[in-house]
Amino acid sequence: MSDKTRMNGGGESSDGIVPAKQPNEDQGGLQEAVEGRPSAKKNTEQTNSYRTQSWESESSGLERVREAAKEDKEKRFTALLHHVTIPLLASSYNSLKRQAAAGVDGVTWEEYGEDLAERLAELHGRIHRGAYRAQPSRRVWIPKPDGKQRPLGIAALEDKIVQHAVGRVLNQIWEEDFLGFSYGFRPERSQHDALDALYVGITRKKVDWIIDLDIRSFFDKIGHEWMVKFVEHRIGDQRIVRLIQKWLKAGVMEDGKWFGTEEGTPQGSVISPILANLYLHYVLDVWAQAWRKKVAGGEMILVRYADDGAPRAQRAEEGPMCVTA
């Protein structure tokens, strides 16, 4: 979720596991690459002015947020919404998939771009005066390899734009906090990097036990109350917190019926990946890091990709303790 990738050499993953792509210094934070596609020709001229208008100052503003997060790990940011500007919204619009299915609003990427300037200005105004309302996700079901089905939430186009923009702001903060063994939904990181780290851990460390960990129904069961508490560790701007709460509580539409959401965050939502990583950072990663340093009697390594993990331990009795996390 950034137009430029900030690379600082010399960092390592947790416990000396070095993937093929080097993470940043400290916690291994890298900016997330946008899911960009070539711009549609008819929208190019209209959006170019937004992509370039004041973008240098916008990027420097986000960079200052990141520097502040890096310098003070306890800092709570009380003024963030002003970073959600029209140029940032335009950049987020252009980062969305062009051919993605429409949400409950029925609006496609192409249709929204026909009056982009007016639409973004009006959307920006609603966000900053508190009039923006999140729409429910359209639920569809996709088959899983085991024959079961996985629910997928398709957000309305404006919700995707705002979520993407807010996610870019949040990434500036938490990419300085996330630990090196977290790979899923991270900027410039992929499943291949996680496999690299796993391979290096197995071949170069004293590992006798490998545990394959998958958190059951993780996205469906995320606790909203705890999610907000975790967000507020770093975010003191209640306008940003309220936006996240709106997305969590927006509900889903299926077969013309609305269903409330008391827990979970929709899979497929633009904001869900960073919220999922944020949640697991506090409930799993921080705990695992502390346990490895203070309790483990031998070497213990963790590679986590989203809600899937592979704890590896030197001693058999250390494995189950990882699983119960």
Q: 22 vs 156, which has greater pLDDT?
A: 156
Nearest CA-CA partner of 120 in 35, 53, 37: 53
pLDDT in tens, 114-138: 999 999 999 999 999 999 999 999 9
Q: Is the pTM of this model over 0.85?
A: no
Under the banding of pLDDT at 50, 70 and 90, the label for residue 203 is: confident
What pLDDT shows up at residue 35? 31
Strands 137-143 and 252-254 come out as parallel
HSE at residue 152, side-chain half, CA atoms within 13 A, is 12
pLDDT in tens, 49-66: 545 445 555 678 899 999
What pLDDT shows up at residue 309? 63
pLDDT in tens, 242-269: 999 999 999 999 988 999 889 988 887 8
Q: How many residues does the chain have?
A: 325
SS3 assignment for the chain: CECCCCCCCCCCCHHHCCCCCCCCCCCCCCCCECCCCCCCHHHHHHHHHHHHCCHHHHHHHHHHHHHHHHHCCCCCECCCHHHCCHHHHHHHHHHCCCCCCCCCCCCCHHHHHHHHHHHHHHHHHHHHHCCCCCCCEEEEEEECCCCCEEEEEECCHHHHHHHHHHHHHHHHHHCCCCCCCECCCCCCCCHHHHHHHHHHHHHHCCCCEECCEECCCHHHHCEHHHHHHHHCCCECCHHHHHHHHHHHHCCEEECCEEECCCECCCCCCCCHHHHHHHHHHHHHHHHHHHHHHHCCCCCEEEEEECCEEEEEECCHHHHHHHHCC
Q: 7 vs 250, which has greater pLDDT?
A: 250
Q: Supply the mean pLDDT for the chain.
A: 80
What pLDDT shows up at residue 26? 38
Under the banding of pLDDT at 50, 70 and 90, the label for residue 315 is: low
